[in-house]
């Protein structure tokens, strides 16, 4: 692969619910070390949890944004409206003056919590894409390709024409 290079890294900056001991100073130390170790032309695009009212009070979004070239909110809607979760994520994170590129729920939510109702991917993905399009984001993506079905692949295929610049 001649001429191939890494253009970005997307560190997954999770909450304590996922077993981390995250706080502002730790996030700053980690992201500063990444910036020092990576070439200047490699973007840092942290994936962050979507900013629910509860997370806004305790997650160090401003610290993470300070070291970021863009932000990728994990807009996983579960039993919430995909449109509302995506819209709130974008609007809140835009205040940090970084590009926001939401990451949607591309899997059946019962993988995380079997007691949840089944997903309705076509409708959920439509809301996700509509919010992203209306708020003029540069890009969207879905997690995770291994369990993506026809609805997810179709939504990504259509999005390719929506978010190309």
* 3-state helix, strand and coil shares in percent for the chain, rounded to the nearest 5: 45, 10, 40
The mean pLDDT value for 67-75 works out to 98
Q: Where residue 1 falls among pLDDT bands split at 50, 70, 90? A: low
This prediction's pTM: 0.92
Which CATH number applies to 8-162?
3.20.20.80
- DSSP, collapsed to helix, strand or coil, labels residue 92 as helix
pLDDT band with cut points at 50, 70 and 90 for residue 163: confident
Domain spans of the chain, in order of start: 8-162
Distance (Å, rounded) from C-alpha 8 to C-alpha 151? 28
| Whole-angstrom distance, CA of residue 61 vs CA of residue 13 | 10
Q: What is the pLDDT of residues 116-150, one digit of tens each?
A: 888 888 899 999 999 999 999 999 999 988 888 88
């Amino acid at each position: 692969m001649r001429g191939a290079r890494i253009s970005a890294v997307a560190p997954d900056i999770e909450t304590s619910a996922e077993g981390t001991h995250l706080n502002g100073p730790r996030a700053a130390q980690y992201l500063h070390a990444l910036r020092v170790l990576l070439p200047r032309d490699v973007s840092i695009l942290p994936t962050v949890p979507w900013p629910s009212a509860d997370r806004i009070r305790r997650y160090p979004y401003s610290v993470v944004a300070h070291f970021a070239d863009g932000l990728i909110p994990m807009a996983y809607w579960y039993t919430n409206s995909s449109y509302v979760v995506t819209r709130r994520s974008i609007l809140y994170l835009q205040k940090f003056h970084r590009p926001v590129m939401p990451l949607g729920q591309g899997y059946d939510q019962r993988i995380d919590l079997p007691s949840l109702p089944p997903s309705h991917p076509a409708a959920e993905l439509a809301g996700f894409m509509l919010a992203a399009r209306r708020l003029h984001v540069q890009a969207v993506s879905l997690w995770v390709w291994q369990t993506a079905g026809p609805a997810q692949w179709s939504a990504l295929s259509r999005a390719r024409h929506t978010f190309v610049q």
